[in-house]
Structure 1
Amino acid sequence: MEVIGGPSSFLYGAGAVGGTINYVTRLARLDRDEAAVQASWGSFRDGTLAMGANLRIGGDEARQAVRVDASARDGGSWIDGQECEASTLAASWLVQLAPTLRHTLAVEVQQEDSHRPYWGTPVRQPATGRLSVLPETVGRNYNVADGYYGQDVRWARSLLEWTPGEHDTVRNTVYHYDALRDYRNVESYRLTAGNDGVIRSGTLLQRHDQQVYGNRLEWSHDGTLFGLPTQWATGLDVSYNRQTRFPLSLSATVDTVPLDAVTPGRFLDVPGTAIVYTPDRTNRLHTQALYVENLTELTPSLSLLTGVRRDRIVLDVVNHRAVTPTNPARFEREYTPTTGRAALTWSITPQASVYAQYSTAADPPAGILSTANFATLRDFDLTTGRQGEIGTKLQTRDGRSFATLAAYRIVRRNLAITDPANPGQTLPVGQQSSRGIEAAFGWHPLEALSVEGNLAWVDATLDDFYENVGGVPVSRAGNRPTNTPSRVGNLWLDYTFTPRWSAGIDLRGVSSRYANAANTLSTAGYATWGAHVGFRWNDRTELTVRGRNLGDRTHVVYALGSTMAYLGDPRSWEVVLRKTF
């Protein structure tokens, strides 16, 4: 998992402001053979076994290589009745067809079954000021006994790479993604007025059947532009995304169960439910994207990065339900956004640099277009955004310390948020903005001691937003968006006692967050800490014992309106054994 801060690189086809997470799968390679196995066991019977190996066919002169990675998890939970089983198998085959041409075939299969998943804990009523939960409800699961979430995913890729010269590389990737996801749960809980029972609602049976077909062609070139060293990267991405949803949603109250309920009923006990998958709509999304990025060294210490991306997105939605004025038999929308960015970097010294950048973006207004409905698209165009950022990066000559500091401002227009009174619907937001400062540092005061940390401060604001309160629109302009902390900080300390033994502690702090757009309800901030001890048997074998939330702090990770909160894990431990070959 690669976290890309700031505006995402256009090379990954993600032009959104703020950042992105890039999922990278290991692939076969020709430079070495390797193998590794990792086993872990922790609190609540949570165990994982993973192994992987890369094997060259033909030794050091090999022209082929095969890699296989597999993992399996069987885990319980601190939440009553919640269990998860998951497995992943990834395989790739690399063939060097010619000195300048190679091909990789990669396939990945994922299977996950989560039994009686946890959706949140009801908060004390009446909900006023700071939200809190009853001690009797912590760790309780008010989902039905046969609640379920599962997914079955297949992902295949054909990667062809051609290097016609030392300055050029051409890559072509043909890909196919196939996923089937199922939900069967009662997901909404509210305490009674006397806080002596749990009122359950939000019954949902849903299936997502999704297929994606695509081809991405990329070209990178190192050369000169007006005599200046420059790098070019351009690409064309064409894809077809088809998804059919099969929802059965019942918003009515199911029942009221006691606080200590262990297995409160089954899904089919709810009136109106049935294990029948009736299609609602099919979203067909055709996308063509052309993107170009250039990095030019204006001087030995000054470089300019520019990028532009042009998309053509055609969404065709077929309604499988009854036709109404708000749900037509078929509708189509076309979007043609053009986005870009520019960044200037000045290397003051080899150890110090400053930069400034500006970027724009266009994204779906709520969720993703492959699941959007007519009501959403009728009221919204694409969400547009812009981001300005300045920052600096510093490092000592000996490499023992580093620091980064960045200040930014982001403005997003025409976006949507979830309606807290109706989680299946969205509310339009005219504009939302944020400004913030992020800092990170690393310090090695001793050869055996390392200290690293980061701190983020953000001031986020709803600039243009009206909330329906009792049928009357009320402006929430100037308020902070829900579940947005103003401060987040992390600190890690690691000390190596001997070549074999090491230990460390980690600290995390999150400030309070508002639970509603009116900013009248909030969740408490929290601080947690953990520790680990590592033993290296030799260069290839390592054992680590890790503890999390050692203060056993009950804390809210995020609020779900005025009735529920999602709680973080309590004190837990884990033993991890890793061996390489």
Structure 2
Amino acid sequence: MNPSILSSHHSYPPFCASLLAGALLAAFGPLSHAEETMLGTVNVRSTRDAATLHLNQPTQSGSRTGVTTKELPASMEILDGETIRERGDTQIGEAIVRTTGLTNNASPGNGGLSFSSRGFAGTGSVGIAEDGVRLQTASGTQNYPSNVWGYERIEVLRGPASIVYGSGTIGATINAVRKEPSRTRRYELMTGLGTDGYKQLGVGAAGPVGEIASYRVDAYGFHNDGYRDLGKAHGGKLMSRLRLQPNSDLRIDLTADYSLTHPERYFGTPYAPGGRIIKSLRDKNYNAADAELRYEDTRLRAKADWRANDWLSLSNELYYLETERIWKNIEGQTLNLRNNTIERSDYLYIQHNLDQTGNRLEASFKGAGHRAVAGWEIAKINFRHTNNSPYRGSSIVSVDHPNHGSWNSPDPIRASFDTDTTLNAFYVEDAWQINDRWLLMAGIRRDLARISRTQLISGTDFSARINGTAWRLGLTHHLTRDTSVYGQISAGHDPVTSLVTMNLSNARFKLTTGRQVEVGIKQTLGGGLGEWTAALYRIEKDDIITRDPNNPRISVQGGSMHSQGIELAANISPVKNWRFEGNYTYLTAKFDELNESSGGRSVSRAGNTPSNVPQQVANLWGHYRFGQWQASLGLRHVGKRYRDNANTFTMKAYTVADASLTWHYSDRLTFRLLGRNLTDKVYATNAYNTQFFLGEPRRFDLIAEMKF
């Protein structure tokens, strides 16, 4: 596919028009099959009248054994597509930060999918997957999946998830689950207009193909003029899956996806001394006029599931993932209040070319009260890093009327290094239903990584081997049919840096290790009142990178930290037509041993809170239904965070109010008016260099959703 199809500032209308035309052609096909498009009447309201946390739904993300959320001895949250649409979240990141305890650490440099959970922040501790397959992180960057269109739900497993997903998941793992092909013909259309020239269009279609096949196609495009200077952003994606099912025991899925996104070219707003936000700079952008930010992803997958008999099933999944990322920006921006200028530096060009080929072979066993799986995963990752290091270049522009100018660096753009990484993993997991009230879960996983790095300009080539073992032991007791309590102990591991882009100084380090103890309760309330969960946990992490107390120039592996907290979540309908949903997290995270270099000496950070970790996080939504209408109001609160491990730089707490008004005109047509940040709060979501990333201002969107 020609990547230039989305590069024009005027590409949104023709791109979306082609998506719509293609979807309509696929949807209606030959007129002789028109009778197959008739669907039975569906009561749209019924899906939202019941307050649910989906505790009785099998989870793909918490275990590979197929246990339900209520059975799982761990904290598992399922966010369904209707809830996401009801709240007006169009991006994966927007939806995730409304789940329990998850906060946003996103920036263009990390791809926009970086989060904090249970005291651990970044892509090295909070993993992202799609349908259970993780794209390995390079240089701490992940940008896919970005948009919620085409996904059935998002599942979040909090705490160490290494048994299912391998290294880099001590804080949490987020899994976006796609919509499935169907033998029933169905079509979806979503179109929306919003503040600052925001336009979006999504189309989806599913249906039969001949006697044994079915398909699912989803396409999405957006264009945004933005409220800042240089604020334009645009992109789109195509997701497709063909399912072949010659009989009830064999199913083959073939998947092909493509996405291209040009996010807003914004690297933060410079803050005043002391970390003070100057509100008048909210709509300013001090990047270069020809800056570039681009993410392109291609994904191919083939999966076969075969039920050999009543007790044995086999599956094999082969996949290929390719991503190209480009950053060409001025990333250093310092405010000089005396001269009323911005001093710009770090004229940076970086390009990532990553391809990952992998295979997962798995056997599932059932019988004698056991649901067990055993599997082998292998992945081969090739990565090239291109840059213009040492990123020189500088300029000065006016604070109020910046002349953006052009990106111009004295440093040549060259391929810097290549890495070849091979990952192998072997795992076994079992859910043993001892009796009607007791379920015992146990699992173990061994990860083996081999990394080689070739320096293309300067430096020393090297290779390294890193291994880790993760395990989990959990027990669930059903006090009643509707109430379960659980306890678990587990161990996982995180890399000290992205395995794919490990450098020579980190090659001698082993994986950090994490151990968790967790207890909790999950309950479905009688009479359709709702569901609620609570969890208490403590996680200890060892072997983090610290400085030698006797020589601060030397990094050693020996630091440690812990986090502990309580998480509450509920979705209830106390009276007719009213529904409330919310969550609350209170945690403390502290370094037990950590030294950093400061002023040429080694300084202890023991007792301090890690950066980007808030103590309190809360979300609350209230919904009131009257006739065909529903009014909703939501609050999102993130407590104060520290920008640095020294705890000398504080990012203030913030609370943002959102709302929506939904009109279910019919079972097939819904209109939504969405309002975000109703009080127009100015707040920082993350920090970078001497800049804050500011949350979006007040915004309104009108969305129409059609099903036919």
Query: Does the pair score TM above 0.5?
Result: yes
Q: Which runs of 4+ in 1 moved over 6 A?
A: 425-429
- Count the aligned residue pairs: 549
Q: Are 1:543 and 1:578, in contact at CA under 8 Å, matched by a contact in 2?
A: yes
User: Are residue 512 (structure 1) and residue 640 (structure 2) matched?
Assistant: yes
SS at match of 1:44: helix
Q: Are 2:349 and 2:391, in contact at CA under 8 Å, matched by a contact in 1?
A: no
TM-superposed CA distance for 1:29, in Å, is 3.1
In structure 1, runs of 5+ residues without a counterpart are 418-424
Q: Are 1:14 and 1:20, in contact at CA under 8 Å, matched by a contact in 2?
A: no
Structure 1 CA distance, aligned partners of 2:681 and 2:578? 28
State the one-letter code of the partner of 2:659: A
User: Are residue 311 (structure 1) and residue 452 (structure 2) matched?
Assistant: no
User: TM-score normalized by structure 1?
Assistant: 0.91
- Cα deviations across residues 245-276 of structure 1 (Å, max 9, x unaligned)? 001134556122111244421112x4x145x3
Structure 1 CA distance, aligned partners of 2:555 and 2:394? 24
Residue pairs, 1:489-568, within 5 angstroms: 489-498=618-627, 500-560=628-688, 563-568=690-695
- Structure 2 match to 1:422: none
CA change 1:82–1:396 in 2 (3 A) is same
TM-superposed CA distance for 1:428, in Å, is 6.9
Q: Which residue, 233, 242, 247 being the options, matches 1:93?
A: 242
- Structure 2 match to 1:573: 700
- Cα deviations across residues 93-148 of structure 1 (Å, max 9, x unaligned)? 11123442221111001111235x111111112x2xxx212233222111111111
- Cα deviations across residues 423-464 of structure 1 (Å, max 9, x unaligned)? xx9997711211111111122112210011110011011222
- Structure 1 match to 2:233: 84
Compare relative contact order (CA 8 Å, sep 6+) and give the higher one, 1 or 2. 2
User: Are residue 290 (structure 1) and residue 416 (structure 2) matched?
Assistant: no
SS at match of 1:136: helix
CA change 1:261–1:234 in 2 (3 A) is farther
User: Are residue 102 (structure 1) and residue 102 (structure 2) matched?
Assistant: no
Bigger share in helix: 2
Q: Are 1:482 and 1:515, in contact at CA under 8 Å, matched by a contact in 2?
A: yes
Bigger share in strand: 1
Q: Are 1:295 and 1:303, in contact at CA under 8 Å, matched by a contact in 2?
A: yes
User: Are residue 46 (structure 1) and residue 198 (structure 2) matched?
Assistant: yes
Query: Over aligned residues, Cα RMSD in angstroms?
Result: 2.1
- Cα deviations across residues 38-60 of structure 1 (Å, max 9, x unaligned)? 111111111110111012024xx
- Structure 2 match to 1:26: 179
User: Are residue 332 (structure 1) and residue 480 (structure 2) matched?
Assistant: no
Question: Alignment identity in percent?
Answer: 29
Q: Are 1:428 and 1:465, in contact at CA under 8 Å, matched by a contact in 2?
A: no
Q: Are 1:136 and 1:259, in contact at CA under 8 Å, matched by a contact in 2?
A: no
Structure 1 CA distance, aligned partners of 2:162 and 2:415? 37
SS at match of 2:526: coil
- Structure 1 match to 2:270: 122
Q: Are 2:322 and 2:356, in contact at CA under 8 Å, matched by a contact in 1?
A: yes
Structure 2 CA distance, aligned partners of 1:436 and 1:575? 39
Residue pairs, 1:333-412, within 5 angstroms: 333-366=464-497, 368-378=498-508, 380-412=509-541
In structure 2, runs of 5+ residues without a counterpart are 1-153, 547-553
Structure 2 CA distance, aligned partners of 1:522 and 1:428? 27
Q: Are 2:163 and 2:472, in contact at CA under 8 Å, matched by a contact in 1?
A: no
- Cα deviations across residues 71-111 of structure 1 (Å, max 9, x unaligned)? 11111222221211111111221112344222111100111
Structure 2 CA distance, aligned partners of 1:393 and 1:27? 28
SS at match of 2:280: helix
Structure 2 CA distance, aligned partners of 1:29 and 1:233? 27
TM-superposed CA distance for 1:557, in Å, is 0.9
User: TM-score normalized by structure 2?
Assistant: 0.75
Structure 1 CA distance, aligned partners of 2:597 and 2:562? 21
- Structure 1 match to 2:214: 65
Residue pairs, 1:443-522, within 5 angstroms: 443-498=572-627, 500-522=628-650
- Structure 2 match to 1:279: 415
State the one-letter code of the partner of 2:635: L
Structure 2 CA distance, aligned partners of 1:188 and 1:428? 30
Structure 2 CA distance, aligned partners of 1:402 and 1:73? 36
SS at match of 2:178: coil
